[in-house]
Amino acid sequence: MNYSVWLRGVVAAFLLIGTSDIPTTAADQPNVVIIFTDDQGYSDVGCFGAEGFETPNLDRMAAEGMKFTDFYVAQAVCGASRAALLTGCYPNRIGMLGAPSSHSNYGIHANEMLLPELVKQKGYATAMYGKWHLGHRVASLPMQHGFDDYFGLPYSNDMWPYHPTAGDRFPDLPTIEKNDIVEYNSDQTLLTSWYTERAVKFIRQNRNNPFLLYVAHSMPHVPLFVSRKHQGVSEQGTYGDVISEIDWSVGQILQTLKRCGIDEKTLVIFTSDNGPWLSYGNHAGSCRPLREGKGTTWEGGMREPCIMRWPGKIPAGTVCSELAATIDIFPTVAHLTGAEPSENKIDGKSIWPLMSGQIDAKSPHKAYFYYWGRHLQAVRSGDWKLHFPHAYRTLVGEGGKDGIPSAYKNVQTPLALFNLKNDIGETTNVATTNQNVVKELQLLADGIREQIGDSAKKMQGTEVRQPQLFD
């Protein structure tokens, strides 16, 4: 090989990655705001095709930033999805599966590095307001995992005595401030306002130093609640009102950043934890034109609306159709802040080339894996997605009404291949005419099975870590 040619190639690649985005001083380090909603569907934002309600603040955020059309969570269920966001790992790798409740005896392990612990290396102030869902024991709560301040619910807002179908399964639902329970069964019409007020206060208090703010809204997870000032503002009823209030919250945060003069040094990310809980009908969102919803590995369960904004860094009014995911946020923040992840293996990749609009930037993922629990149900590479045979839930008839869910039934899918570019709704199985693609995706799946397992193959995985277990 000609050494000079090789060297020029290395230099060119380095320049393409860019060094100007890597902070050299504390003043260069971006603030990071992550707004994470609960059970919001793919088309539940105006710029993603919402009907019956408007989201002017989110739409403006997209106009001033980048809309991601192919953005994924790691599992279509609350707790596992949040674990992935905060650690950069598939939940299977760290043993954080399902949706832990008051009865669960596990939580996020102390040995796992979470986003706030990552950025505290660089002197960041950190705060979280909203739904945690990584374990309710004190050792698992946010204050023990890098957050300087916390207020919110330890798990889902339906895990309380007023659940419409669970009987007496759940005890009183605590509201927690820092490590202390301050109230039980709080008025949930106030949750979105409470989280927002604390977020705004935190931004004002930390305008002169770098910070990480994580706002994890309890809504629009059922039961739906909305403050009095936002009731009746949408055509769609309560669900539309709830989304409108979340949009208001986004507006308050963006407005505060501008008023504090830190708008241009703050990365804001908006997305959700999984698709809509379709059995709740008019109290659930929509994932048009995607198939199915929460609790499935079809696109409607795991592809989410995502908007990122950072004036002067993320090009305004742009759209990214490359595959990216919540597991990528951790390594991207590490890249932007200069912080060092732990030695624990993670699955995410920095997506800064996509976010910054670099010409011809591609997804860093050769493959993306869709798990339900410990079962590997699908894999995507490029435009191709292969479902392995598995049972999944689908609605029986129409969805429920006014907070009472309808029924699901279990059905089976065979080995099925879809071209998502041509068939985003996963309607036409083209496996028989694309056997080479099927084989390639099967090989990619075998690789992740060896690492983190697959219950369908009775494989445990050789690189699986455990959660924190409690007596």
- Residue 61's pLDDT is 98
Q: Are residues 266 and 414 in the same domain?
A: no
Query: What is the pTM assigned to this prediction?
Result: 0.95
Which pLDDT does position 21 carry in this prediction? 55
pLDDT above 70 for 214? yes
- Above 50 in pLDDT, residue 249? yes
Give yes or no: residues 372 and 348 share one domain. no
For residue 420, the enclosing domain spans: 368-469
Q: Which of 303, 320, 355 is the last residue of a domain?
A: 355
Active site residue 78: yes
Across the range 30-54, mean pLDDT stands at 98
Spell out a b/e string for 156-193, using b for 16 or more CB atoms within 10 Å of the CB, else e.
bbbbbeebeeeeeebeebbbbeeeeeeeeebebeebbb
Res. 167 pLDDT band, cuts 50 70 90: confident
pLDDT of res. 471: 87
pLDDT of residue 9: 40
CATH number of 382's domain? 3.30.1120
What is the C-alpha to C-alpha distance for residues 276 and 304, in angstroms, rounded to an integer?
10
Question: Does residue 2 lie in a domain region?
Answer: no
Binned at pLDDT 50, 70 and 90, residue 166 comes out as confident
308 with 432, same domain: the answer is no
How do residues 335-384 score in pLDDT, each as one tens digit?
Answer: 999 999 999 999 999 999 999 999 999 999 999 999 999 999 999 999 99
Q: Are residues 129 and 181 in the same domain?
A: yes
Same structural domain, 118 and 142: yes
What is the four-CA torsion angle of 168, 169, 175, 176, rounded to 10 degrees? 140
Residue 168 has pLDDT above 90, yes or no: no
- Give the model's pLDDT for residue 28: 76
Which listed residue (78, 89, 306, 320) is catalytic?
78
Question: Does 361 map to a domain?
Answer: no
CA distances from 402 to 223, 237, 244, 284, 405 (A): 9, 10, 18, 10, 8
The pLDDT tens digits for 176-190 are 999 999 999 999 999
Identify whether residues 331 and 376 lie together within a single domain: no
What's the chain's length in residues? 471
Question: What's the whole-number mean pLDDT along residues 104-126?
Answer: 98
- Contact present, 368 and 404 (Cβ < 8 Å): no
Arithmetic mean of pLDDT over the chain: 94
Q: Are residues 349 and 378 in the same domain?
A: no
Kindly state whether residue 16 falls inside one of the protein's structural domains. Answer: no
Helix-helix angle 191-205:238-259, to 10 degrees: 10
In this structure, the answer to whether residues 435 and 327 fall within a common structural domain is no
Residue 283 belongs to some domain of the structure: yes
Question: Which residue among 290, 320, 355 closes a domain?
Answer: 355
User: 13 lies in a domain?
Assistant: no
Q: What tokens were used for 136?
A: 């309710």
How far is the CA of 390 from the CAs of 40, 83, 259, 412, in angstroms? 25, 24, 51, 6
Could you give the number of structural domains in the chain? Answer: 2
CB 445 within 8 A of CB 376: yes
**Within a domain: residue 244?**
yes
Kindly give, in sequence order, each residue whose CB lies less than 8 Å from that of residue 365, ignoring residues fewer than 6 positions away.
323, 324, 325, 349
Does residue 271 share a domain with residue 373? no
Lowest-confidence pick of 18-32, 298-312, 423-437, 451-465: 18-32
Q: Are residues 296 and 431 in the same domain?
A: no
Residue-level pLDDT at 16: 41
Spatial CB neighbours of 325, under 8 Å, sequence gap ≥ 6: 71, 72, 73, 74, 84, 348, 365, 368
**Of the candidates 309, 300, 196, the residue with the CA atom closest to the CA atom of residue 263:** 309
Whether residue 89 is contained in a domain is answered as yes
Domain identity same for 317 and 456: no
Instruction: Give me the residue label for tokens 């024991």.
Output: 137
What pLDDT is attached to residue 27? Answer: 63
* Domain termination site, one of 355, 376, 409: 355
pLDDT at 7: 37
Tell me if 45 sits within 8 A of 59, measured CB to CB.
yes
Same domain, 261 and 383: no
Residues 6+ apart with CB under 8 A from 201: none
Res. 239 pLDDT band, cuts 50 70 90: very high
Of 89, 109, 133, 287, catalytic: 133
In this predicted structure, the answer to whether residue 430 has a pLDDT above a threshold of 70 is: yes
Quick check: is 301 in a domain?
yes
133 in catalytic set: yes
